């Protein structure tokens, strides 16, 4: 088995296109190279356009996390204008963003991640029949319940933003929709219905009891709902040790409120929290088919290397924080926020930790959404008038479902002079950098089992999907 090489891809049930090259030795992955084979050039199209066009163009980077892109674009424009959004408009934005993030988590768990356990390779396991019944692609009973619950939760995006995906209502000054009392009631009802789905299907118990899980033992003892079923599989397959991360977590801080974000901003390095220094972010292009020096996004450019030089292997740039890789996502957010369960999960930091971190966040966010909806005050202003300056620069740093998302823009002469985006999957699925440091997923894949005859190793599938990649955002 020495020295074989595998090309895994295209990956299905991930957003967009992905291909991974694996070096395999003695039945294990010894090195991984992640290729994002899709490039569209958004950063180039934005140049010289009306800055407000970013509000329409950037959401279309991704049909799954379009609100995250809207929120980041609006935040960057608001930062450039130096004006905060109307507080009630910010609340609407926050609610919309949370609805999308929670929906993404639900989609990931039910449609993208769990169906892998229905594979024939798991036929000998006692839980496999149940996995097929509940999670077979497009057929499973849990999938149907989830799709239904998610569509109903999305009524909130319909009400507050007119349409989803590709919402227009989120603006630097706030939100275009001033909800009425009736809207507020309908939102609360939609949230109540979603809670019912969570408590009947996903958790099988009150949302609070998941949010309050204090340690990994309490989690692993959970038997109810789809969560309990997943944990049964995770225990059987040892998913806690599979695909361990780099242990460095990054969060831009999610849902900024008047008294700080709901989930804290910061980095987690070597078991301790540190403040985030955004000036330490730089994108390395050594292994990307992009031209230019390593640069902070305020100075970065997007010049595709049409020669597709041999030394590179992806369209994805390699973002680094102080020269080091960082993992981002729901687990990272919960770790940086200091949730006791997440901190214990981070000690293994593998497939189990990422999936459980996501479900923990669903529970915590549900509670916050209910609070925010109750705080809507229809009589107050929802949007300030914002005049964009002729020249200015701004940054919009937000947390998408998959992690830290940043937009950096410069306005020159009333037009967009520069626009750079770093998406969560850009961090997680980055290629190597100039010092040959592999990206987070590339590192997490090392050691994954490749069974004899497997050309699309199931362990690799679990690890890759545990990050919930969004490939269209990655390169954009």
Partner 1 sequence: MSQIETFYDVMRRQGITRRSFMKYCSLTAAALGLGPAYVPKIAHAMETKPRTPVIWVHGLECTCCSESFIRSAHPLAKDVVLSMISLDYDDTLMAAAGHQAEAALEDTIEKYKGNYILAVEGNPPLNEDGMYCIVGGKPFVDQLRHAAKDAKAIISWGACASYGCVQAAAPNPTQATPVHKVITDKPIIKVPGCPPIAEVMTGVITYMLTFDRLPQLDRQGRPQMFYSQRIHDKCYRRPHFDAGQFVEAWDDENARKGYCLYKMGCKGPTTYNACSTVRWNEGVSFPIQSGHGCIGCSEDGFWDAGSFYDRVTDLTQFGVEANADRIGMATAGVVGAGVAAHAAASILVSAQRKAQSKKSQSEEA
Please, which of residues 172-191 interact with partner 1 by CB under 8 A? 173-178
Please report, as residue ranges, which positions from 195 to 254 form the binding site for partner 1 (by CB under 8 A).
none
* Residue 231 DSSP SS3: helix
- Residues 6+ positions from 175 with CB-CB distance below 8 Å: 85, 89, 92, 93, 96, 160, 161, 169, 382, 383
- Residues 6+ positions from 287 with CB-CB distance below 8 Å: 311, 312, 313, 314, 318, 431, 432, 433
Stretch that binds partner 1, among 10-18, 252-260, 265-273, 425-433 (CB under 8 A): 10-18
- Residues 6+ positions from 324 with CB-CB distance below 8 Å: 248, 437
Stretch that binds partner 1, among 144-152, 215-223, 279-287, 420-428 (CB under 8 A): 144-152
Please report, as residue ranges, which positions from 351 to 410 form the binding site for partner 1 (by CB under 8 A).
381-383, 385
Considering beta carbons, is residue 12 or 347 the nearer one to partner 1? 12
Considering beta carbons, is residue 131 or 332 the nearer one to partner 1? 131
List the one residue from 30, 31, 37, 257 that touches partner 1 (CB under 8 A).
37
Geometric angle at alpha carbon 27, from 23 and 32, rounded to 5°: 25
To partner 1, the closest distance from the beta carbon of 331 in angstroms equals 23
**Residue count, binding to partner 1 (CB under 8 A):** 81
List the one residue from 31, 57, 189, 269 that touches partner 1 (CB under 8 A).
57
* Residue 171 DSSP SS3: strand
Phi-psi region of 21 (alpha: psi -120 to 50; beta: other; left: phi over 0): beta
Considering beta carbons, is residue 164 or 222 the nearer one to partner 1? 164
3-state secondary structure 338-376: CCHHHHHHCCCCCHHHHHHHHHHHHHHHHHHHHHHHHCC
Distance from C-alpha of 363 to C-alpha of 249, rounded to nearest angstrom: 21
Does residue 154 bind partner 1 (CB under 8 A)? yes
Please report, as residue ranges, which positions from 84 to 103 form the binding site for partner 1 (by CB under 8 A).
86, 89
Does residue 61 bind partner 1 (CB under 8 A)? yes
Considering beta carbons, is residue 142 or 211 the nearer one to partner 1? 142
Stretch that binds partner 1, among 22-30, 32-40, 195-203, 260-268 (CB under 8 A): 32-40
| Site map 100..129 versus partner 1, x via CB under 8 A | -----------x---x--xx----------
Does residue 414 bind partner 1 (CB under 8 A)? no
Please report, as residue ranges, which positions from 416 to 455 form the binding site for partner 1 (by CB under 8 A).
455
Considering beta carbons, is residue 84 or 158 the nearer one to partner 1? 158
**Do residues 355 and 105 touch, judged by C-beta distance below 8 A?**
no
* Residue 137 DSSP SS3: coil
Distance of CA 413 to the CA centre of its chain: 34
Considering beta carbons, is residue 12 or 374 the nearer one to partner 1? 12
Distance from C-alpha of 133 to C-alpha of 114, rounded to nearest angstrom: 12
Considering beta carbons, is residue 35 or 251 the nearer one to partner 1? 35
Kindly tell me the burial class for residue 191, based on how many C-beta atoms sit within 10 Å of its own C-beta (0-12, 13-18, 19 or more): buried
For 208, list phi and psi in degrees, rounded to 5: -60, -35
Considering beta carbons, is residue 317 or 364 the nearer one to partner 1? 317
List the one residue from 28, 30, 125, 155 that touches partner 1 (CB under 8 A).
155
**Do residues 407 and 396 touch, judged by C-beta distance below 8 A?**
yes
Considering beta carbons, is residue 58 or 334 the nearer one to partner 1? 58
* Residue 149 DSSP SS3: helix
Please report, as residue ranges, which positions from 285 to 314 form the binding site for partner 1 (by CB under 8 A).
304, 306, 308
- Residues 6+ positions from 300 with CB-CB distance below 8 Å: 283, 292, 317, 408, 418, 420
Considering beta carbons, is residue 100 or 399 the nearer one to partner 1? 100
Does residue 40 bind partner 1 (CB under 8 A)? yes
Considering beta carbons, is residue 147 or 220 the nearer one to partner 1? 147
Stretch that binds partner 1, among 9-17, 222-230, 316-324, 443-451 (CB under 8 A): 9-17
Considering beta carbons, is residue 17 or 324 the nearer one to partner 1? 17
Kindly tell me the burial class for residue 85, based on how many C-beta atoms sit within 10 Å of its own C-beta (0-12, 13-18, 19 or more): buried
Does residue 459 bind partner 1 (CB under 8 A)? no
List the one residue from 105, 106, 165, 232 that touches partner 1 (CB under 8 A).
165
List the one residue from 33, 66, 330, 441 that touches partner 1 (CB under 8 A).
66
List the one residue from 28, 30, 87, 166 that touches partner 1 (CB under 8 A).
166
**Do residues 23 and 444 touch, judged by C-beta distance below 8 A?**
no
To partner 1, the closest distance from the beta carbon of 265 in angstroms equals 27
DSSP sequence for 419-468: EEEE-HHHHHT----TT-PPPHHHHHHTT-B--TT-SS-HHHHHHHHHT-
DSSP summary character for residue 389:
P
List the one residue from 1, 7, 280, 375 that touches partner 1 (CB under 8 A).
7
Q: 471: part of which helix (H) or strand (E)? A: helix 471-475
| Site map 310..339 versus partner 1, x via CB under 8 A | -----x------------------------
């Amino acid at each position: 088995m020495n020295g074989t090489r595998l090309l895994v891809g295209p990956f299905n049930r991930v957003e967009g296109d992905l291909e991974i090259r694996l070096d395999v030795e003695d039945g294990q992955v010894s090195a991984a190279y992640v290729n994002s084979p899709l490039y569209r050039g958004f950063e180039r199209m934005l140049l010289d356009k009306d800055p407000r066009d970013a509000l329409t163009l950037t959401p279309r980077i991704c049909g799954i996390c379009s609100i995250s892109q809207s929120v980041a674009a609006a935040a960057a424009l608001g930062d450039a204008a130096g004006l905060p959004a109307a507080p009630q408009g910010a609340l609407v934005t926050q609610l919309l963003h949370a609805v999308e993030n929670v929906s993404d988590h639900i989609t990931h768990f039910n449609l993208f991640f769990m169906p892998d356990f229905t594979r024939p390779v798991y036929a000998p396991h006692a839980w496999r029949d149940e996995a097929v019944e509940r999670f077979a692609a497009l057929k499973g009973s849990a999938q149907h319940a989830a799709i239904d619950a998610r569509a109903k939760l999305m009524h909130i995006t319909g009400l507050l933003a007119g349409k989803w995906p590709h919402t227009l209502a989120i603006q630097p000054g706030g939100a275009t929709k001033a909800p009425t009392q009736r809207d507020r009631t309908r939102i609360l009802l939609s949230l109540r219905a979603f809670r019912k789905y969570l408590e009947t299907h996903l958790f099988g118990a009150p949302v609070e009891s998941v949010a309050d899980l204090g340690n990994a033992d309490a989690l692993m003892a959970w038997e109810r709902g789809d969560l309990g079923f997943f944990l049964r599989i995770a225990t059987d397959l040892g998913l806690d040790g599979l695909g361990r991360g780099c242990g460095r977590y990054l969060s831009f801080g999610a849902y900024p409120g008047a008294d700080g974000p709901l989930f804290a901003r910061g980095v987690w390095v070597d078991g301790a929290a540190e403040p985030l220094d955004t000036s330490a972010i730089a994108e390395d292009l050594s292994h990307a088919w992009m031209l230019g020096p390593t640069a902070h996004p305020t100075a970065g450019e997007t010049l595709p290397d049409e020669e597709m030089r041999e030394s590179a292997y992806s369209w994805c740039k390699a973002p680094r924080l102080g020269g080091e890789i960082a993992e981002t996502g729901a687990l990272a957010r919960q770790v940086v926020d200091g949730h006791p369960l997440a901190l214990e999960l981070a000690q293994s930091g593998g497939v189990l930790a990422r999936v459980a971190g996501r479900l923990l966040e669903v529970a915590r966010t549900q509670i916050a959404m209910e609070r925010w909806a109750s705080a809507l005050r229809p009589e107050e202003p929802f949007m300030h008038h914002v005049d964009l300056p002729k020249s200015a620069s701004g940054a919009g740093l937000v947390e998408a479902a998959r992690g830290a998302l940043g937009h950096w823009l410069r306005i020159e002469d009333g037009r967009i002079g520069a626009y750079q985006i770093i998406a969560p999957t850009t961090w997680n699925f980055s290629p190597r950098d100039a010092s040959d440091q592999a990206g987070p997923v590339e590192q997490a894949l090392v050691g994954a089992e490749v069974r004899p005859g497997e050309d699309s190793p199931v362990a690799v599938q679990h690890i890759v999907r545990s990050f919930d990649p969004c490939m269209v955002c990655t390169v954009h």
